[in-house]
Structures are given as structure tokens and as C-alpha cells.
């Protein structure tokens, strides 16, 4: 398959895909497993959409790719929908989310121990907003649920994978003192 | 002076628990976290709690617990006197907790910053037809069933108590027969409407769980409405021994 062809296929699928498009999926549909070739088409599109005048951009997120409105366009999209689509998480929610993201899988008692206060209500909100999910049960007394982050979390935070979370090292240095 | 006091008091509510309050006090008083002056910290902490009480704010149990932790440390330090050995410093466990919590606070701030940027980007919206959540958690299914129970209660009329106790086995068969075979989602509520007693409803719920376990049906929850929908997948396995269910 030629580069041109790959570019147009990717562009078309990006437009219609409601979820981050996985390259594997595209390769399967096209019966074309040339990973390097697809990567080339991808970087072409990435550059193509990265012009300053573009209102949309190509984002590598949740190990896939998708077309999104640029962050600077938020205000206009909001006015267009005439409502705020972005959920305003509380400070407590960000704390719990940080604890889960960096320590998953983790139970509610463990989360409470780190924060020094009960977090049940926040957990419920995060579950409702699909930022976290139950990943299993811990094999201790009471078999408490284990929680982890979701693909939706990666998408909402624009992360390709958990490895892209802000690094924790600089804080560890402090602990070593 | 009064306004300053008020400011202090109003800020109490923004604390995310006792650790947050302690960190605030340590920073405000410019204490060294590795050598916390416990007596001063306890005083400060107590005066904050007192202000909360004066304002009739309810104080979460965690704050009181933290006070007892602090007093315990204070007592141990008084008994021990000034020891040079860091290992058995009674403050160490608390300091470690404070540092871990501070780390989380920083990470939470960073996440918030990322979210401020990327939370406001939009992609193609999922199509309207996709109404169901497939990745359901236990809270959602319990909540959905609770909603169903509430709805059923509204229409409950006095009736004769059925003498016969329904068996899960029978209920499984009738539920499975009730579902359309075209694999379209069917509201569980509509099946419950055909039942007569609360006991039957509960039996139906258990039968549903059993059928899910056996892979005969699949459940979905309608997004936002908390309604349980069921999809027929296949008949019960022929070699199923019903003896397990009474």
C-alpha cells in the first residue's frame, strides 16, 4: 500500500471513530501489517494537523489516535453546545485520582490511610464519571474492592498510557533526605 | 482582628482532612518538617478545632483521631526527653505520612493542570444509539435494582399472600422464556411487572444473577437511567443439575 493511500484511510477512520483508533485495528481492516508504513502516514497527519490555523489536532491517547478540538478552542465548543461538558472535579477528587493512578490497584482503606480522611463519596463520583473502575478484590480480610483508572481517564487527561503521568521522582528525592 | 479570625475560620472548610490541616500549620508557622515542634503544633491544631467548635461546625472523627495521635506523640516525647537517635523518634510515622500526603497533593495539582488543558478538548461524540453501559460495576447494578424496587413499590397493591414459594429454578426458566430471542435488550422491569410478590421479585433478581453466571443472558444498564436490560444469549445447558438451587 502506498503512503498516500494509508494517509487517506487513516484520515477517514479518524473522522468516524468514536473511540481512540488503534493502529492494530486499522492494519487488520486493511490487511496491511506494515507498521513502519502506518507510522509514517501517522506522522504525516500529525504534522498536517499541527499548523497554527488548525482548530483540530491529532492526539495520541490511550494507545490510540483521535482527532480532537484544540484546547484553545474550548470556549467556542462550550458556547456551541451551550453547556459545560467538562466535569469540574473537586480537589478531593484529584487527590483520590492521583492516589489511584500512581498506586493502582488500590483499596478504599488504603486510599483513606494516605489521605487521612474517608473518601467514599469521591470514589462514587469518580466511578460515575468513569475515571476509575473496580479491577478486582484484594485477598485480605473482607475482600475489599481494588480500584484502577480507566481508558476514559487516559482520554480525559490526554495521556497515551500510565507511563505518561507526571513523574514522581523529584518528590522521591525529598524523601531520601 | 475579628475579620482576620473569620478568614481563618472560613479557611477551615477547604482542608481535605487532618493531614492537610497539619501541613498547612507546619508551612504557615514555618516549622521544620523533619524536626516538628510537637507542643506548638498541638496547640495550633487544638485552637483550630476549638474555632470549628465555636462555629458549631461538625468536626469529622478523623480530626479528633489526629488530635489523639498528636497528644500521644507529645506524651512520648516528654517521657523520652530529647533523644538524638532518629530511629525511635515518635514523630517519624506521622512525618512519613505527611510527606506522602504532600506528594499526593502535588501530583493532584499536576493532574488538575493537565485536566484543565485536555479536559476541554472534544472528539466526535459517541453515537446516540449507544445507550448502554456494558462495563458495569457493582454499585451501578445495585443502584439499578434499588430503583426498580422503588418503582415497583409504588404500584404494590394489597393482595393475597401466595402460599407457594417460588424456586430459583422455575424463575430462571420463566425469565429465559420471557426474553425475546432476537438478542435485543429487554427491560428487566417488564418481567418483574408480571410477578406477584416481593419474594418473587427477589427470586427473579437471584435467577437473573444465576443466568448471567451461566452465560445464558447478558445484562446492560441504560446510561443515566439506571435501568437493567437483559439480552438472551443461549438456552440453559442441558446437563445443568437443578439440585443446586432449591
This prediction's pTM: 0.68
Residue A140, pLDDT above cutoff 80: yes
Compute, in degrees rounded to 10, the torsion defined by CA atoms B146, B148, B153, B155.
170
- Dihedral sign from CA coordinates of B148, B151, B155, B156: positive
Classify residue A86: in a domain, yes or no. no
Counting the structural domains of chain A, the total is: 2
- Residue A65 and residue A30 share a domain: yes
- A48-97: pLDDT as tens digits: 998 889 999 999 998 999 999 999 999 898 888 777 778 889 999 999 99
- Residue A160 and residue A96 share a domain: yes
- Residue A57 and residue A108 share a domain: no
Domain boundary among A44, A73, A102: A73
- Residue A170 and residue A102 share a domain: yes
A101 touches chain B (CB under 8 A): yes
Q: Which residue has the higher pLDDT, B147 or B134?
A: B147
- Residue A95 and residue A58 share a domain: no
Give residue B12's pLDDT: 54
- B244 DSSP 8-state letter: G
- A144-161: pLDDT as tens digits: 999 999 999 999 999 999
Classify residue A84: in a domain, yes or no. no
Classify residue A58: in a domain, yes or no. yes
- Residue A170 and residue A143 share a domain: yes
- Residue A157 and residue A103 share a domain: yes
Residue with cell 436490560: B229
Classify residue A78: in a domain, yes or no. no
Nearest to B187 by CA among B216, B156, B214, B225: B225
- Residue A155 and residue A121 share a domain: yes
Question: What is the radius of gyration, based on Cα positions, of chain A?
Answer: 20
- What 3 state SS string does B100-141 have? HHHHHHHHHHHHHHHHHHHCCCCCCCCCCCCCEECCCCHHHH
Residue B223, pLDDT above cutoff 70: no
Q: At what angle do helices B138-154 and A120-128 cross, to 10 degrees?
A: 90
Question: Which range among A104-108, A118-122, B221-225, B227-231 shows the weakest confidence by mean pLDDT?
Answer: B221-225
Q: Which residue has the higher pLDDT, B167 or B110?
A: B110
- Residue A48 and residue A113 share a domain: no
- Residue A55 and residue A7 share a domain: yes
Question: Which range among A172-176, B47-51, B192-196 shows the weakest confidence by mean pLDDT?
Answer: A172-176
- Residue A100 and residue A43 share a domain: no
- Residue A58 and residue A119 share a domain: no
Contact B62 A118 (CB under 8 A): yes
Give residue A160's pLDDT: 93
Q: How confident is the model at residue B230 (pLDDT cuts 50, 70, 90)?
A: confident
Classify residue A29: in a domain, yes or no. yes
Q: What is the CATH number of the domain that holds A97?
A: 1.10.10.10
Contact B99 A59 (CB under 8 A): no
Contact B99 A116 (CB under 8 A): no
Residue A124, phi then psi, degrees to nearest 5: -65, -45
Domain boundary among A14, A46, A73: A73
Residue A117, pLDDT above cutoff 70: yes
Provide the percentage of residues in chain A whose pLDDT is more than 90.
62
Domain span at A12: 3-73
* Closest-CA distance of chain A to residue B231, Å: 23
pLDDT average, residue stretch B165-172: 84
Distance between CA B116 and CA B109 in Å, rounded?
10
Classify residue A150: in a domain, yes or no. yes
Q: Which residue has the higher pLDDT, B208 or B159?
A: B208
Classify residue A21: in a domain, yes or no. yes
Provide the percentage of residues in chain B whose pLDDT is more than 90.
20
Contact A171 B121 (CB under 8 A): no
- ipTM beyond cut 0.90: no
Find the CB nearest B139 among A73, A127, A171.
Answer: A127
Domain boundary among A20, A46, A73: A73
* Closest-CA distance of chain A to residue B229, Å: 19
Q: Which residue has the higher pLDDT, B139 or A118?
A: A118
* Closest-CA distance of chain A to residue B194, Å: 31
Classify residue A15: in a domain, yes or no. yes
- B27-61: pLDDT as tens digits: 888 888 888 899 999 999 999 888 888 877 777 88
Contact B122 A68 (CB under 8 A): yes
Amino acid at each position: 500500500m502506498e503512503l498516500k493511500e494509508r494517509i487517506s484511510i487513516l484520515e477517514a477512520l479518524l473522522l468516524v471513530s468514536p473511540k481512540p483508533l488503534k493502529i492494530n485495528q486499522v492494519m487488520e481492516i486493511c490487511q496491511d501489517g506494515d507498521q513502519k508504513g502506518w507510522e509514517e502516514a501517522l506522522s504525516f497527519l500529525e504534522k498536517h494537523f499541527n499548523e497554527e490555523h488548525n482548530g483540530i489536532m491529532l492526539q495520541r491517547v490511550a494507545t490510540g489516535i483521535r482527532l480532537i478540538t484544540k484546547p484553545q478552542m474550548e470556549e467556542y465548543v462550550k458556547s456551541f453546545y451551550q453547556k459545560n461538558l467538562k466535569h469540574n472535579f473537586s480537589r478531593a477528587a484529584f487527590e483520590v485520582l492521583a492516589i489511584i493512578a500512581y498506586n493502582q490497584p488500590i483499596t478504599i482503606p488504603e486510599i483513606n490511610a494516605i489521605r487521612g480522611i474517608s473518601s467514599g463519596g469521591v470514589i462514587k463520583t469518580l466511578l460515575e464519571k468513569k475515571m476509575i473502575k473496580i479491577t478486582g478484590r484484594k485477598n485480605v480480610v473482607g475482600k475489599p474492592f481494588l480500584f484502577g483508572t480507566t481508558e476514559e481517564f487516559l482520554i480525559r487527561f490526554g495521556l497515551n498510557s500510565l507511563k505518561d503521568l507526571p513523574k514522581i521522582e523529584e518528590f522521591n528525592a525529598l524523601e531520601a533526605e | 482582628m475579628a475579620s482576620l479570625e473569620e478568614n481563618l475560620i472560613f479557611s477551615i472548610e477547604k482542608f481535605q482532612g487532618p493531614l492537610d490541616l497539619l501541613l498547612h500549620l507546619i508551612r504557615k508557622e514555618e516549622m521544620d518538617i523533619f524536626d516538628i515542634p510537637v507542643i506548638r503544633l498541638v496547640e495550633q491544631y487544638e485552637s483550630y478545632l476549638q474555632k470549628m467548635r465555636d462555629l458549631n461546625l461538625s468536626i469529622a472523627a478523623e480530626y479528633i483521631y489526629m488530635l489523639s495521635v498528636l497528644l500521644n506523640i507529645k506524651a512520648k516525647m516528654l517521657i523520652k526527653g530529647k533523644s538524638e537517635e532518629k530511629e525511635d523518634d515518635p514523630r517519624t510515622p506521622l512525618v512519613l505520612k505527611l510527606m506522602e500526603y504532600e506528594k499526593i497533593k502535588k501530583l493532584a495539582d499536576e493532574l488538575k493542570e493537565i485536566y484543565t488543558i485536555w479536559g476541554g478538548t472534544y472528539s466526535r461524540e459517541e453515537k446516540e444509539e449507544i445507550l448502554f453501559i456494558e462495563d458495569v460495576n457493582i454499585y451501578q447494578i445495585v443502584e439499578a435494582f434499588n430503583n426498580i424496587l422503588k418503582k415497583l413499590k409504588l404500584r404494590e397493591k394489597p393482595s393475597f399472600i401466595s402460599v407457594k414459594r417460588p424456586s430459583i429454578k422455575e424463575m430462571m426458566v420463566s425469565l429465559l422464556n420471557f426474553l425475546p430471542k432476537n438478542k435485543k435488550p429487554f427491560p428487566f422491569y417488564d418481567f418483574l411487572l408480571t410477578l406477584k410478590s416481593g419474594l418473587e421479585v427477589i427470586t427473579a433478581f437471584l435467577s437473573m444473577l444465576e443466568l448471567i453466571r451461566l452465560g445464558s443472558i447478558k445484562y446492560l444498564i441504560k446510561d443515566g437511567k439506571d435501568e437493567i436490560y437483559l439480552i438472551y444469549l443461549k438456552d440453559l445447558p442441558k446437563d445443568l443439575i437443578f439440585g443446586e438451587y432449591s
